[in-house]
Amino acid sequence: MSYAPFVFISALTGQRLNKLFELINLVKESNSVRITTGKLNDLLAYATARVQPPSDKGKRLKIYYMTQPSTNPPTFVSFANKIDLFHFSYRRYLENQIRETFGLVGTPIRFIVREREEKK
């Protein structure tokens, strides 16, 4: 759980106990954050331009859009052309971009990928 922050406290003296409660409030706020679809799609455009989506046998992964249907924990749904091209490392890259851009500290992120046919 690399996303989880930790604070060393002292049970004997109560040192840094206030910092612990500040961190708890910060995690609670980031657990219930709502991000609009427009902001997520801007992030998706930036992230895919920075690191190209994976391809296999001449077929490239296309991510059409991303949305956030729920909070507690933040859940993100991506619609792509082929689920099997959506490698776990690219998923982790997108999760890290979301976490870094929107400041999601200490909260798990659920990431769902759905397949959608290309429009002709």
Over residues 82-107, mean pLDDT? 90
1 has a pLDDT exceeding 90 = no
Mean pLDDT (the chain) is 89
pTM above 0.85, yes or no: no
- Split at pLDDT 50, 70, 90, the class of 90 is very high
Instruction: Write the pLDDT tens digit of every residue in 20-33.
Output: 899 899 899 888 89
d(CA 40, CA 44) in angstroms, rounded, equals 6
d(CA 98, CA 103) in angstroms, rounded, equals 8
